[in-house]
Structure 1
Amino acid sequence: MLTLGKIDHIHIRVSDAAKAADWYSRVLGLAADTRYRHMQDGPHGVIMMANPSGTVRLAISQEEGAAAFSGAIAFVVSGQDFLEWIDQLAGERVLNSEGQTIARDSVRDHGFFCSLSFVDPFGNPFEIVSYDHTWLAGKLKLTKRTPA
């Protein structure tokens, strides 16, 4: 049986590619991957953004009237990194889907993992997830599980 190797990239449509590239760089630490520079030209140009190790890649394309997709893109991190992501997102005044600024009380406790949901300036949904639940529950003083 054939199996898939890994996700190559996730394509995100936005109404302003330059603004999106700046946000993804500043907030998520992604940078334009110069190997894909040739793909930026033309009416359907794509800016390929990647983390330093190349394990996360987002293909950003500009389309008028682009609507956010349903679902969410979820990134998994360690417990310590999860705490740092809370601070990073809060410092950048990133919002959740209800329009509230991300803070430590934005963490959802799912019983065996924790998540932090947020949106980019175009309404595209993201999550930071950590399976270091026991450690995070102690650090964040989580007392009740969030219903799914």
Structure 2
Amino acid sequence: MLTLAKIDHLHIRVSDMSKALDWYRRVLGLVPDARYKQLQDGPHGVLMLTNTNATVRLALSEEAAPQNAQAGAIAFGVSGQDFLEWLERLAVERVLGRDGQSIARDSVRDFGFFCAVPFDDPFGNAFEIVSYDHTWLSSKLKLGASQQTQVR
């Protein structure tokens, strides 16, 4: 049976490559992957960014005005402890949630079996940090049934 093994990389459109590189490095800890340096040249060049263990790759391409930026969101899965650390990192970096407000503990969306914190990059691309360590996070974040979001 033919199956997909993994997501290799995701393409992200940005309007300012140097600003994007700074933001993705500072906020998400992603750095240029030297193995893909040759992809940067040419009219359809991309800058491949990766995390330290090369399990996440984003291919940034520069466009004057990104199209369909809100068509979907890229969700990164993390442990419960890492979720709390990402929540703090996003708050310190003053990253904006989808509501236009700075990320804070009340930005966490409780879906009953997982938690998510949605946010946008400076170019309107949508992201989420997601953890399925719901029971543990519920106690740490003092989440209640009244805060649960319906999955659509």
Q: In the alignment, what sits opposite 1:70?
A: 71
Q: In the alignment, what sits opposite 2:3?
A: 3
Residue deviations 1:70-103 (CA, integer Å, cap 9, x gap) = 1100000000000000000000000012210000
* TM-score normalised according to structure 1 size: 0.97
Q: What residue ranges of structure 1 are gaps of 5+ in the alignment?
A: none
Name the amino acid aligned to 1:6. Answer: K
Structure 1: 4+ residue segments shifted above 6 A = none
Paired-residue identity, %:
68
For these two proteins, the number of residue pairs brought into alignment is: 148
Residue deviations 1:50-80 (CA, integer Å, cap 9, x gap) = 0011100000000112231411000000000
CA RMSD for the aligned pairs? 0.9
Q: In the alignment, what sits opposite 2:42?
A: 42
Name the amino acid aligned to 1:147. Answer: Q
Q: Is the 8 A contact 1:12 1:59 kept in 2?
A: yes
Q: In the alignment, what sits opposite 1:133?
A: 134
Secondary structure of residue in 2 paired with 1:65: coil
* TM-score normalised according to structure 2 size: 0.94
In 1, Cα distance between equivalents of 2:91 and 2:19: 19
Q: In the alignment, what sits opposite 2:15?
A: 15
Residue deviations 1:78-135 (CA, integer Å, cap 9, x gap) = 0000000000000000001221000001001100000000000001000000000000
